Structure 1
Amino acid sequence: MSNKVVIITGCSSGIGLSTAKKYKDEGYTVIGLDISQCPISDIITFYKCDLSNEKEIVHTINNIKRLYQSVNYLICSAGIFFDKQRSFLDNMDINEWTNTIQCNLTGSMLIFRETFQLIQKAKGDKAVLFVSSDQAQHTRCKNSAYAVSKGGLITLAKVCAAESINYGIRVNAIEPASVRTNFINRLFETEEQKESIYEKENDKMPLGLIEPDDVAELIIFLCSEKAKRITGQSISIDGGLYI
């Protein structure tokens, strides 16, 4: 059993949920934050929190501070993707742009800001991980808000790493390509359509379509003593797609 504490945003589905389950199985104290109800809220400490809302973030972290003296790992996995209203930049809806940046990038910065003192106080290994995307490096048309927000997370990780290194806190980012999660599921209405796109994505990747558990394993490695010399990096997990 571990006596370490981990905070995971976006814990209710996909990568965040898989990561929360794995940490819980390894005996960590898991604190999950999400705007949606978490299916494992009975076995973790769960807070419903809108990660695009500064007041809610501050209020939630203050509640956590009352219960926990320190946090070893912070994993920022929450994110949104405007799959229906996407547009080219010359016709960009400012609400799509602002809301995406606010949740994916600004929300992650605020979570880091509010938990920084808790992480400083942790004994032993301590680290922060931002879940970016392959879209940060290999974007597509009509995807600008999401790509920019995810590119910002890579820069944010480097800035946080530089500002945290004297406290012994490591900060990294990861860049998953297509993962079998609700992000993709929401784009299609029928199971046949979902399976078709998964098959196409799988065919693109020499090592096969990425599963949430694959990403969770990378996160847990980077947020562990096994990665104690790694900081300020952004690591791709793409199934060989870009080679």
Structure 2
Amino acid sequence: MSMKKKTAIITGAGGGIGRAAALQLAKDDFNLVIVDFNEQIALETLELVKENGAEAIFVKANVTNASDVENYVQKAVDTFGSIDVFFNNAGVVQKFSMFTDIEEAEYDRVMNINTKGVFLGMKYVLKVMEEQGHGHIINTASTAGIRSEHSAAVYSASKHAVVGLTKGAALEYVSKGIRVNAICPGGVRTPLTDSVTKEMQTTGYVPAEVGVMRMGRFSEPDEIANVLSFLASDASSYMTGTTVVVDGGLTL
């Protein structure tokens, strides 16, 4: 009898780290639930993972909306019967500016997507995982969740909060067969980070300290996806409540 395939949900699966993660978990023989707000790029990811032999569905969602989150969680269960891995990855970057120049609307946007979106995903997936008696949640934090970045105080706060949510849930659910960890990438070459460079060129605002890439380059999305692959497997079975830093030495 063949082993039942494991199922993974990936938010922000349309591009960057999310797409690389989807392709990697397809290779790792997971069923996939592709979640993104941008339907066009998410459907491209869906096609790519199907070409790699994965069974997969796409669910459009605004991660800051509780009913959208409940919907993608329910669709995952209805389609595949379980949620074994949840890659809680959707996020945005902050427009660089000094603390007192940060608009309230920008604060709300960044905290809503990066922190509330992660919280809601965890809240509804944890309910399913507790019922199953197993599961692993992997949140995308950032090196900015460990130490602040110049001119990105709100982004840093949102990612520190992701680390806090990770540890809190890991502590509460460790006895229930559920693990919760976070990945902290440094600079990753994605459309999101490309937009940051463009923004600096457009606005002319460059933070007083720009992160020094110790390896002389950003990481490729698949270098983050490789770490996710390890975390999503039983090879990481004794890890919970930890932050895995994948930053090419940025925080040294």
Superposition TM-score tier, normalisation by shorter sequence: 0.7 to 0.9
* Residue of structure 1 aligned with 2:233, choices 215, 218, 224: 224
Identity %: 23
Distance 1:121 1:70 in 2: 10
Tell me the residue number matched to 1:23.
25
Superposed, which structure 2 residues align to 1:123-162 within 5 Å?
Answer: 126-162=135-171
Tell me the residue number matched to 1:81.
93
Tell me the residue number matched to 1:95.
105
Give the aligned CA root-mean-square deviation in angstroms.
2.4
Q: Is the 8 A contact 2:76 2:82 kept in 1?
A: no
**1:3-53 CA distances to partner (integer Å, 9 max, x unpaired)?**
100011110011111011111122210111111121122322111111122
Superposed, which structure 2 residues align to 1:40-189 within 5 Å?
Answer: 40-42=45-47, 43=50, 44-83=56-95, 86-122=96-132, 126-189=135-198
Cα 1:5–1:122, aligned 2, differ >3 Å: closer, same or farther?
farther
Comparing 179-188 and 164-173, the one that deviates more? 179-188
**1:158-214 CA distances to partner (integer Å, 9 max, x unpaired)?**
001011111111111111100111111113459xx9xxxxxxx99732375311111
TM-score normalised by length of structure 2: 0.84
Distance 1:127 1:170 in 2: 5
SS at match of 1:186: helix
2:244 is the alignment partner of 1:235 = yes
One-letter amino acid of the structure 2 residue matched with residue 209 of structure 1: F
TM-score normalised by length of structure 1: 0.87
SS at match of 1:31: strand
Q: CA deviation at 1:90?
A: 1.8
One-letter amino acid of the structure 2 residue matched with residue 28 of structure 1: F
Q: CA deviation at 1:219?
A: 1.2
2:223 is the alignment partner of 1:214 = yes
Distance 1:96 1:202 in 2: 22
SS at match of 2:21: helix
Tell me the residue number matched to 1:12.
14
Q: Is the 8 A contact 2:139 2:183 kept in 1?
A: yes
Count of matched residue positions in the alignment of Structure 1 and Structure 2 = 232
One-letter amino acid of the structure 2 residue matched with residue 214 of structure 1: E
Cα 1:122–1:22, aligned 2, differ >3 Å: closer, same or farther?
farther
**1:108-158 CA distances to partner (integer Å, 9 max, x unpaired)?**
1111111113223447x6211111011122322321111111110111100
Tell me the residue number matched to 1:196.
none
Gaps of 5+ in 1: 194-200
Cα 1:18–1:221, aligned 2, differ >3 Å: closer, same or farther?
same
Distance 1:64 1:6 in 2: 8
